[in-house]
A and B are shown apart, each in its own frame.
Chain A
Amino acid sequence: MPKSQVVSIHPVTRIEGQARVDIHLDESGRVSDARVAISALRGFEQFVVGRPAEEIPRIVSRICGICPWMHHLAAVKAVDGCFGAVPPPTGQLLRELCQVIAHIHDKILHFFFLAAPDFVLGPDGDYSVRNIMGLVRQEPELAARVARMRQLGQAMLARFAGKSIHPVAGVAGGFSKPMLETERRELAADALVLLDFASFALDYAKRSVFSRFREELQSLGAITTGFLGAVDAQGNLQLYDGLLRLMRPDGSWVDFPASDYERHLAEQVEPWSYAKMVYAKSWGEGFSLNPAAPMGVYRVNTLARLNVCGQIATPRAQAELEDFRAQFGRPAQGTLLYHWARLIELVYACERTVELLADERITDPLVRTPAEPKAGRGIGHVEAPRGTLIHDYSTDDNGCITRANLIVGTTHNIAPMNLSVRQAAASLICDGEVSESILNRIEMAIRAYDP
C-alpha cells in the first residue's frame, strides 16, 4: 500500500452535536475519502423501553437541549397515536405555538452565535476571535441585540409553559394548561418585537453577509441531492404537522403521511459512525456515498423545507421565498444557502407566532382530553430546526413502551454532510497542502447543516 495520511478535525466546533472529520489523503496528496463521524451514542431507543408512554415526552426531550420542544412534541404526538387520544383543537394550537416559538431562538442561535463569525469576522480569521466573543467585541450593539432577542424567545416559552429547556407542558391528549387572556396579550406584544428583529436579521444578512459570499454560497460543499420536508394539503410550508414531501434532485415529488415513513425511507449503519444514515428507499436505487454518483441521498432542514414547499402562507416570508427562488431556482442546491433559508424560516416562525396568538381559539380552556393507556403504535412527526423528526413507538396493554424508533433531523443529513465535506475537501486541498483556513472552510460546509 502507498503511504497515505489522515488529517482530522477533532472536534468539529460551533455545531450542536459531537463530531469529528477525518480527511484521507493518498500518496500524491489528493483527497481519497473524507468522513464526518458522530462519536457519541446515548441509546434512547433502549432506555425508553418498559416505561409508561405518557412519561416519554419528558425523557426524550433530553436528546437535544437546543431543540427539546421538537422531541417533546414529536413524542406527545406518538403517544397520542399509541393511546388513540385526540387532543382538543386548542391543545393542538398551543403545541404548535410552542413549536414555532422554539424555532425562533434556535435560528438566532445558529445564525448569529455559531455560523456568523465565519462570515462577519471572516473564514480565515484567528480562531481565538472567530466566535461570538469576537463578535461581541467587533459589533457590540448587534451582539447585544441578538443575545436579547434569543433570550426573549426562550423567556416567552418559560413564562407561558414553565420550562423552555426540557419542556413539560405537552402531555398525552393535549396540553397541561390553558392560556389566559393576559398571557396572550403579553406574548403577542413580544412576538411583534421578534418579528421586527427577524426582518432586520434577514435584511442585515442579505446586505452585509450573503452579498460578500455570492460565490461560496453556491460552491462550498455543493452537491446535488433530493429533499424532504413537511407541507400542508395546499403545499404550504409546515413546521408542526402535515404531509411529508420527498423531492427528487430533478424537482419531482411524492407526498405521504409520516406514518408511511418506512415505505419511503430506510436506515443504514456504517462502521465509523454512531449515527445511522437514512436514504430514500422508494427511489429504488439503494444507497451510495460515491461522490461521483451518490444514490438515495436527500437533505432535510431549512433549505429542504423551502425547496419542497409550494409557498409560505405568511406574507413577509412568502415575499422572501419568491426573491430566493428568483435568484437560486427550485430546488436550490447550494449548501451555504441553508443559512439564507434559515433566516427566511425565522421570519415565518415569527409571523406564525403572531398569527396563532391572534387566533381566538387559543385561550379556550379545554386543552386536554384524558388519555387511556393501551396497546398501540404511534408515529409522531414535527419539523425540527435540523430537519424532519420522527418518533415511532409501540406500547403494550398497560401503555408501556415495547419498541421505539427515532429518526432525528441530523440523521437524514449525515449522508449529504459526508458528501459535502468530501466535495469541499477535494476542491480545497491540492498536493496535500492543508492550512487552518482550509480546514475551517471545510467545517463551514458542516455548519451550514447545523448538525
Chain B
Amino acid sequence: MLPRLSFECLHGCSGCEMALLDCGEQLLGLLDRVEIVHFPLLMDHKYHNPLSGASDEEGEIILPEAEIGLVSGGVANVEQLQVARALRAQCRTLISLGTCATHGGIPALRNQWTSEETLQTVFAYGSPEKALLPSEVPALLDRVYSVDEQVAVDVALPGCPPRPEMMLEVIEALLRRESPDLAHKSVCETCPVIRKGKGQGQGTMQRFLANADYDPEEPVEQMRCLLEQGLLCMGPVTAGGCGGRETPLCIRARVPCRGCYGPVRPGGNQLLDMMNGLASNGIDYRSLVDRKSLLRFSGGHGLLKPARKRKESN
C-alpha cells in the first residue's frame, strides 16, 4: 500500500499549497509514490457523507487515516478547531506547514483586537445597519492560534510560503522514515550583502518610502546591508532558508525582510529580539512607527493581545 498523505488548509490563504504546486514536475513524481486521501483544494473528499441521511448540523468531521498530515493556516474558528483535531487524530505524523500554522502568521494580527471588535469593524462597514452580524456561521475563537497551540504537531515548517524544495525534502525524509533536517539559521546568516557593523542611519530607522541605495547593474553582493542603510530589516531575528543557499528572496527584490519565517528559534520573540538588537546598536526604538508589527508573522502563542485600554477610536 502506498503511504497516505492528508492535506488541510485552515486559517490561511492557500499560498503554501501554491508553493507546493510550484515544485512542478517534481511534485508529480512524488504524487506517483503516495496516495492522497484528503486535500480539499485538489480533490473531492468531504467532511461528511451528504447522502447518509444524517443531519449535518452537529455532525462530527471525519477524515481518513494517513501516515503524514500537512496542515496550513492557523486555527481561528470552531470549525477549524474541529478539523485540526480530526486531522491530528488520524495522522501518524502531523506537519504544520507555513507560518500561519507554526506562529499564527498575518491573520494573527487580528489578536490585537477582540473578535467582537473585528466583527464590528468588518460588518458595520458598507452596511447601513450597524450591528448586523452573520450568525449562522462557525463562531470565531477569542483569538487566532497557531496549530501547535491546539493540537500536538510533530514537524514545524515555517515560511510564507515555505520554500517549495524544502517542503518536498521534508515529505521525502518522512517517507524514508528519517527525521527531516531543519536548520535554525537567521536570514542574515544566508544574506550576502555588505555589512560593516555600523549603521548609516544616525540612530533612527527610516520608513521604506524610497528605494534602497544600490546599483542595479551590480549583483546583490555589492549592496550595503539594508539595516545598515537605516531601513528596518527583520533579517537578524528571522529564521532563514527562504532562498535556500542563495540570497534571501526579499533581498533579491532589494526590499527589507519583514520576518515571514517567524523567529530563528521556534520559541523566540521577534519583537523583543529586534528591540534588543536595535538598542544595542544605539538605535532609538521610538523611531519605529508600528512596533507591534515586529510580530507581523508571529502573533500567535499569546504574543499579540488587545490593548487593555484603547484610547484612539477604531
Contact = CB atoms under 8 A, between A and B. Distances in A.
B290 A177 contact: no
A6 B77 contact: no
Interface string A401-417: 00001000000000000
A75 B40 CA distance: 29
Query: Chain A, interface size: which category?
Result: 35 or more
B280 interface: no
A51 interface: yes
Contacts of A400: 289-290
Interface string B33-51: 0001000111111111011
A427 interface: no
A52 interface: yes
Given A46-B122, A269-B127, A66 B255 contact: no
A373 B32 CA distance: 53
B172 interface: no
Given A14-B43, A272-B136, A59 B31 contact: no
B31 A148 contact: no
B296 A368 contact: no
B209 A151 contact: no
A46 B113 contact: yes
Interface stretch (A246-254, A338-346, A433-441): A433-441
A242 B136 CA distance: 38
Interface string B122-152: 1101110000111111101000000000000
A276 B15 contact: no
Interface in A141-189: 143-144, 147-148, 150-151, 154-155, 158, 161-169, 171-173, 176-178, 180
Nearest to B128: A266
Interface in B105-133: 105-107, 109-110, 112-113, 117-119, 121-123, 125-127, 132-133
A127 B43 contact: yes
B183 interface: no
B17 A65 contact: yes
Contact of B136 (A59, A271, A436): A271
Interface in B13-38: 13-19, 21-25, 27-28, 31-32, 36
B35 to A, nearest CB: 9
Contact of A51 (B132, B253, B290): B290
A256 to B, nearest CB: 18
Contacts of A63: 13
B41 A9 contact: no
Contacts of A289: none
B211 A176 contact: yes
B117 to A, nearest CB: 7
A327 interface: no
A144 B106 CA distance: 33
A206 to B, nearest CB: 25
A356 interface: no
Contacts of A131: 42-44
A154 B22 contact: yes
A273 B123 CA distance: 11
A176 B15 CA distance: 22
Contacts of A282: none
Contacts of A270: 134
Contacts of B126: 266-267, 276, 405
Contacts of A434: 50-51
Interface stretch (A37-45, A317-325, A378-386): A37-45
Nearest to A369: B210
Contacts of B46: 9-11, 13
Interface in A1-50: 6-11, 13-16, 18, 22, 37, 39-43, 45-47, 49-50
Contacts of A171: 208, 211, 255
A265 to B, nearest CB: 9
B28 A40 contact: no
B12 A65 contact: yes
Contacts of A405: 125-126
Given A9-B46, A150-B24, A169-B253, A46 B258 contact: no
B217 A180 contact: yes
- The SS class assigned to the B binding surface is loop
Interface in B174-212: 207-211
A132 B7 CA distance: 15
A11 to B, nearest CB: 5
Interface in B211-253: 211, 216-217, 249-253
A366 to B, nearest CB: 10
Contacts of A130: 43-44
A64 B208 contact: no
Contacts of A267: 125-127
Nearest to A60: B106
Interface in B234-282: 249-255, 258, 260
A439 B77 CA distance: 26
B152 to A, nearest CB: 24
B16 to A, nearest CB: 7
B123 A276 contact: yes
Contact of A37 (B76, B123, B137): B137
A158 B15 CA distance: 14
Contacts of A52: 207, 289-290
Contacts of B136: 37, 271-272
B59 to A, nearest CB: 8
A68 B127 CA distance: 27
Given A269-B133, A270-B134, A276-B127, A128 B43 contact: yes
A109 B21 contact: yes
A54 B46 CA distance: 41
Given A127-B44, A169-B255, A405-B126, A373 B209 contact: yes
Given A130-B43, A161-B253, A163-B250, 12 more contacts: A6-B55, A40-B11, A41-B77, A49-B121, A52-B207, A64-B14, A65-B17, A136-B31, A168-B250, A274-B137, A367-B211, A373-B209
Which are the 7 A-B pairs with shortest beta-carbon distances?
A65-B15, A162-B253, A151-B24, A267-B126, A370-B210, A47-B109, A65-B13
20 contacts: A7-B51, A37-B136, A43-B113, A45-B122, A46-B117, A52-B290, A62-B160, A66-B14, A68-B13, A131-B44, A147-B25, A148-B24, A164-B22, A166-B160, A168-B249, A168-B250, A169-B255, A177-B254, A274-B134, A274-B137
Interface of A: 6-11, 13-16, 18, 22, 37, 39-43, 45-47, 49-52, 54-55, 58-59, 62-66, 68, 109, 113-114, 127-128, 130-133, 136, 143-144, 147-148, 150-151, 154-155, 158, 161-169, 171-173, 176-178, 180, 266-274, 276, 365, 367-368, 370-373, 398-400, 405, 434-436, 439-440, 443
